[in-house]
Structure 1
Amino acid sequence: MQTTPFQIAVPDADLDDLRRRLRATRWAPATPSPAWQQGVDREWLRELVAYWADTFDWRAAERKLNALPQFIADLDGQRVHYVHRRGEGPAPYPLVITHGWPGSFFEFHALLDHLCNPAAFGGDPADSFDVVAPSLPGFGFSPAPAQAGSAAFQVADCWASLMQGLGYARFGAQGGDLGAGVSVALAARHPERVDGIHLNFLPSSYEPAVGADRQPLTPAEDNYLREKNEWAALEGGYAHMHATRPATLAASLNDSPTGLAAWIGEKFRAWSDCGGEIERVFSKDDLLTDISLYWFTQSIGTSVQMYWENRLQPMRFADGQRVAPPVGFASFPKEINHPPRSWLERTFNVVQWSEMPGGGHFAALEKPALLAQEIRTFFRPLRKG
């Protein structure tokens, strides 16, 4: 595996082009309706766009991102961008963590502090991790795969190669959103190398192993499936578009930064534990750092392509199939779905289950200390194996 250090350096011309486009936004007429009822709130978006054009300091954000140790690896022709931060402790444990959509490696900037240097937060240095945080193919600075067919399972194979190339024969995995699917696929396809996986989300396409002796649905499982279907009908239009017409969507969002901010910003509000006030949890600077990564890398189209690929390769398990590595699960109250423990236990060896006191879909950004504590607790016995 060839790997080279990487630093972000967006050209000045790209910054000038972004500001020009933002200031030339052609605002869509709208029928009056309550704020956020039909999607992004127009006035909130106007304020965000004005801040992006006139106040947001990308160079400051760039310096913050470049403080992370970033690299590009060449894995048999697939280039992967990743952060590799070494732990500060006697024997840091290797952990690969994977983001989702509309996130990025930026999601983990605070979580990395807690995982790599627990002593700085009053923790035990023996709980430190060597953390590898790759950007999914087609996201940010990881180019899109050269060929179709790269779903969670193929990304998991790529991550296994990356960890091998970095010298980690065995490791743990953690993820939410699309990253949860990659973590599950790692455990399913590479159980001899993956000690365990910790999740804060269950992939929506997950279906447990079934057979002639399948147990009937429990009331909690039946309620979960009903609520999941109701959510998909009312809130899942974005995912259906991603999974069925990604190229059509990309043509619009890759050309309009205002459209991109609307598409992504609305999800940060809807899926977080912000009580409807997005800036209670995310500052404009943090939101725009993430959105800007999509804009400057022109990766919105290639990122949503993964929904298409995952639809063609859903997270379904054969009759009697079980995933051997142990699983830990943190259920955050404002997450978009809440599977009961029994639903996972049909396929997985669930050894840790936590109902979290606060937080939503973007747990690493919203509650980095809480998530880090769950990750440390889960992997503590596994790192001794």
Structure 2
Amino acid sequence: MVELQPTRIDIHPDVIDDLQERLRRTRWPAAYVDVGWSIGTDAGYLRGLADEWASTFDWYEVQDRFNVFDQVEAIIDGQRIHCFHQRSPRADATPLLLVHGWPGSVIEFIDCIGPLSDPDAHGAPGAPAFHVVCPSIPGYGFSGPTSDEGWSARRISRALDDLMQALGYEEYAGAGGDWGANILTDLARSDRQGSLTSLHLTMPTGLPPAPGEVEVLTDFERSSLEHWAQANATGRVEHVAINSHRPHTYGVAMNDSPAGLLSWLVDMCRSFTVYDGDVEEALTREQLLANATIYWVTGTITSAMRLYVEHARQKAAEPHPPFVTVPVSVSIFPSDIRRWPRSWAERSLTITDWEVLPAGGHFGSWEQPELFIDAVRRSLGPSTA
């Protein structure tokens, strides 16, 4: 039996003091020719951001925003899992499991929990309402590091279903992108698929056409595949290889150096949202630093990367996963790093609705919360859930 305990986020000031001191003592690389972002994180930008992290960034403002919401934690399958659990005051609310991805955290949904759970209090009277459950993926953020092997997307999906059942939700809808989409899709493929009424995904899985198969793509879909090919050719998705093979090599460095951690996360966030543009067109400096702080204070960068190892093992063990029969609505954010065509997704998912939103990238709910909220309401409200 899963025992739920009320909790709050409470990072001790000594942890923040240590973070700031480490940043002040960063041993920066020797000066070199200014090459901007062409071979990694822009040195000048990173140093300025790190200086801000060490001096003016206020973690406790972020913590206070989180602590507005109800929270519980539980030990499930030997692993601590933390989640925000915000019940709606509405009797007709739909239970909703929100699952974040990489290289983000639950902060991706910080601006969505309130409007989704209580639309009447957030300027949308009568809009669909949800009982929102927003966990940190095991190995990420406030759930803390995983301590044993085997925490694949499949195992995580079962643990999150156990969490939902313990909270009293026998059936519920799910929404997520990146790992969130993978985890929810794995749940929909498992013997627990009956828990899910419907899904809303922003980065759906997909299968390319068979050799010789004729495929008609829209201009957007064609440009999306070209974008993905360019991202692979220019090293923008090398994190997949690194995280899938050597997370314990790189993880030690990032777990010990906040400047190194920040460099890695900021470069990923930029590539996944604006690609070659200004990262602050997608995410503010405070957002970037808040996400990095979550990884730092929880010591989860290594275990977060390790999920890629477990996913690779899962794929090797199950190269041809079953078709998903749970209804799936898809909202594509146009600047996301990976955007499969609808026809690819339809080879593995039961697609009931598909749309391309006007703005946003990999962290759609974080970059464009209003667009995400509206999409979830359209897709998973009472008439569709």
TM-score by length of 1: 0.91
Helix, strand or coil: the match of 1:79? Answer: strand
In structure 2, the gaps of 5 or more residues are none
The answer for the alignment partner of 1:289 in structure 2 is: 290
The answer for the alignment partner of 1:308 in structure 2 is: 309
Q: Does 1:216 align with 2:213?
A: yes
Where do residues 78-227 of structure 1 align in structure 2 (5 Å cutoff)? 78-125=79-126, 127-189=128-190, 190-203=192-205, 206-207=206-207, 216=213, 218-220=215-217
The answer for the alignment partner of 1:232 in structure 2 is: 232
Q: Distance in 2 between matches of 1:227 and 1:373?
A: 27
1:68 to partner: Cα distance: 2.0
1:263 to partner: Cα distance: 0.5
Q: Distance in 1 between matches of 2:113 and 2:300?
A: 24
The answer for the alignment partner of 2:53 in structure 1 is: 52
Q: Distance in 2 between matches of 1:346 and 1:313?
A: 20
Read off the aligned partner of 2:252 and give its amino acid letter.
A
Q: Distance in 2 between matches of 1:173 and 1:280?
A: 28
Q: Is the 8 A contact 2:231 2:237 kept in 1?
A: yes
The answer for the alignment partner of 2:243 in structure 1 is: 242
Q: Distance in 2 between matches of 1:31 and 1:47?
A: 16
Q: Is the 8 A contact 1:136 1:155 kept in 2?
A: yes
24-33 vs 274-283, which moves further: 274-283
Q: Distance in 2 between matches of 1:295 and 1:121?
A: 32
The one-character-per-residue Cα deviations of 1:89-130 (angstroms, maximum 9, x if unpaired) are: 231100101101111111111111221122234434351000
Q: Classify 1:159/1:217 alpha carbon distance in 2 versus 1 (closer, same or farther; 3 Å).
A: farther
Q: Classify 1:199/1:23 alpha carbon distance in 2 versus 1 (closer, same or farther; 3 Å).
A: same
Read off the aligned partner of 1:258 and give its amino acid letter.
A
Q: Classify 1:41/1:182 alpha carbon distance in 2 versus 1 (closer, same or farther; 3 Å).
A: same
In structure 1, the gaps of 5 or more residues are none
Q: Classify 1:318/1:12 alpha carbon distance in 2 versus 1 (closer, same or farther; 3 Å).
A: closer
Q: Classify 1:41/1:180 alpha carbon distance in 2 versus 1 (closer, same or farther; 3 Å).
A: same
Q: Classify 1:228/1:274 alpha carbon distance in 2 versus 1 (closer, same or farther; 3 Å).
A: closer
82-91 vs 164-173, which moves further: 82-91
Q: Distance in 1 between matches of 2:383 and 2:154?
A: 24
Q: Distance in 1 between matches of 2:116 and 2:260?
A: 35
Q: Distance in 2 between matches of 1:158 and 1:317?
A: 22
Where do residues 309-324 of structure 1 align in structure 2 (5 Å cutoff)? 309-314=310-315, 318=320, 321-324=322-325
1:362 to partner: Cα distance: 0.6
Helix, strand or coil: the match of 1:324? Answer: strand
Helix, strand or coil: the match of 2:104? Answer: coil
Helix, strand or coil: the match of 1:110? Answer: coil
Q: Distance in 1 between matches of 2:121 and 2:37?
A: 40
Helix, strand or coil: the match of 2:28? Answer: coil
Q: Distance in 2 between matches of 1:274 and 1:237?
A: 14
Q: Classify 1:209/1:81 alpha carbon distance in 2 versus 1 (closer, same or farther; 3 Å).
A: farther
TM-score by length of 2: 0.91
What is the Cα-based RMSD across aligned positions, in Å?
Answer: 2.4
Identity in percent: 33
Q: Classify 1:274/1:318 alpha carbon distance in 2 versus 1 (closer, same or farther; 3 Å).
A: closer
Q: Distance in 2 between matches of 1:273 and 1:290?
A: 17
1:280 to partner: Cα distance: 3.3
Read off the aligned partner of 1:125 and give its amino acid letter.
G
Q: Distance in 1 between matches of 2:149 and 2:180?
A: 19
Q: Is the 8 A contact 1:333 1:356 kept in 2?
A: yes
Q: Classify 1:273/1:38 alpha carbon distance in 2 versus 1 (closer, same or farther; 3 Å).
A: closer
Read off the aligned partner of 2:148 and give its amino acid letter.
Q
Read off the aligned partner of 1:202 and give its amino acid letter.
P
